[in-house]
Amino acid sequence: TVLPVMLYQITPKFRDEARPKFGLLRCREFLMKDMYSFDKSQEEAANTYNMVCDAYTRILRQLEVPFVKVKACTGAMGGNYSHEFHYLTDIGEDHLHVCLQCCTGVSADGPSSDCPNQSCEHCGGRLHEARGIEVAHAFSLGTTYSEPLGATIQHANGKTRPFEMNCFGIGVTRLLAACLEMLASEDQLRWPFSVVPFKVAIVTPKRGSHEAESLALAEHLAGQLGLLKQLQGGVLLDDRDDWTIGKRLKDLSTLGAPYIIVAGKKTKEPMPLFELHDVIGKSAAELTHSELLHFFQFGPLAARTV
């Protein structure tokens, strides 16, 4: 058998949560990504543990929401040691001591958590008290479960011993809710760019308006933008043409579209101009068809392709 063996699942879970609150942050039914790893030695299990923690770090960095990785108690799971990944926010229910310089720390229930003024073991910086939302975790289980269950591996010398295990988890439902908690404004959803349902929305002219003949221009632009690698699968053509442009613009901003293109009055000019709205940056500009293609191909999105 080639080790490590790593088995994972992404499934709905039900938990008889005593105090459900904060919408999807603490609920009774949610989506969870679980994984268990099996190794033949403590050293190899530690390498697997670090490898998966590094993968979790890359996933969370891709979401572009600041997070911290903290030491934590193993609690009811048992095992050797544990780490948690948290978003820092005042509504978080977990109490932490964190280093703001290197984004690490300890859980208030974790090891070496007695003194909030202690120094960071990584960089020597001061630890600060904070509250966090746990979005992922990792446990080094050792032989806590493999030994009593008789899960063993035969070594080269013929002897058998229990597998060294780790387990890992990402709360998918909570992660999405926590991202919105961290990013959203009072009246607008704001998603991490890598998971936003659509990156660009194009608002077509209202039915019966003077600009209605510009519908073909808007549809052609949507097709061209959809061919760009940065936007594949991420272009929405909002053809609710019984709504005014202003109503759709507000609705799309509320739903979290980071960029909105409006085919308005100036699309009827000899050199048609579209309105580009940067919702998060709260700015707008008038651009031609070719300028829009250039912006989305070589502008800010070029460096954010996932």
Q: Edge to edge, what strands does the sheet with 200-203 contain?
A: 235-238, 200-203, 259-262, 274-278, 283-287
- Count CA atoms closer than 13 A to 88's CA, side-chain side: 18
Task: Identify whether residues 67 and 171 lie together within a single domain.
Answer: yes
Task: Identify whether residues 162 and 32 lie together within a single domain.
Answer: yes
Place of tokens 């940065």: 230
pLDDT computed for residue 58 by the predictor: 97
Task: Identify whether residues 45 and 80 lie together within a single domain.
Answer: yes
Whether the upstream peptide bond of residue 12 has omega within 30° of 0, thus cis, is: no
Is position 54 within any domain?
A: yes
The tens digit of pLDDT for each residue in 198-225 reads 999 999 999 888 888 889 999 999 999 9
CATH of the domain at 149: 3.30.930.10
pLDDT computed for residue 25 by the predictor: 85
The tens digit of pLDDT for each residue in 18-42 reads 787 778 888 888 999 999 999 999 9
Mean pLDDT across the chain: 90
pLDDT computed for residue 299 by the predictor: 81
Strands 5-14 and 94-99: unpaired
Is position 191 within any domain?
A: no
Task: Identify whether residues 178 and 267 lie together within a single domain.
Answer: no
306 has pLDDT over 50: no
Residue 284 belongs to domain spanning: 200-304
Look up residue 213 and give its amino acid: E
Of 65, 77, 120, 73, residue with least CA distance to 98: 120
User: Once rounded to an integer, what is the mean pLDDT over residues 262-272?
Assistant: 91
The tens digit of pLDDT for each residue in 106-132 reads 888 755 444 455 777 778 778 888 999
Burial class (CB in 10 A: 0-12, 13-18, 19+), 225: buried
pLDDT computed for residue 302 by the predictor: 63
Mapped to the 3 state alphabet, what secondary structure does the chain carry?
CCCCEEEEEEEEEECCCCCCECHHHECCEEEEEEEEEEECCHHHHHHHHHHHHHHHHHHHHHCCCCCEEEEECCHHHCCCEEEEEEEECCCCCEEEEEECCCCEEEECCCCCCCCCCCECCCCCCEEEEEEEEEEEEEEEEECCCHHHHCCEEECCCCCEEECEEEEEEEEHHHHHHHHHHHHCCCCCCCCCCCCCCCCEEEECCCCCCCCHHHHHHHHHHHHHHHCCHHHCCCEEEECCCCCCHHHHHHHHHHHCCCEEEECCHHHHCCCCCEEEEECCCCEEEEECHHHHHHHHHHCHHHHHCC
Residues above pLDDT 90, as percent of the chain = 66
Task: Identify whether residues 251 and 299 lie together within a single domain.
Answer: yes
Tokens found for residue 145: 């479960």
The tens digit of pLDDT for each residue in 76-100 reads 889 999 999 999 999 888 899 888 8
Predicted TM-score of the model (pTM): 0.87
55 contact partners, CB below 8 Å, separation of at least 6: none
Number of domains in the chain: 2
Is position 193 within any domain?
A: no
Number of C-beta neighbours around residue 129 at 10 A: 12
Among 157, 183, 209, residue at a domain's last position: 183
Is position 194 within any domain?
A: no
pLDDT computed for residue 12 by the predictor: 95
Among 137, 153, 183, residue at a domain's last position: 183
Task: Identify whether residues 229 and 152 lie together within a single domain.
Answer: no
Task: Identify whether residues 163 and 296 lie together within a single domain.
Answer: no
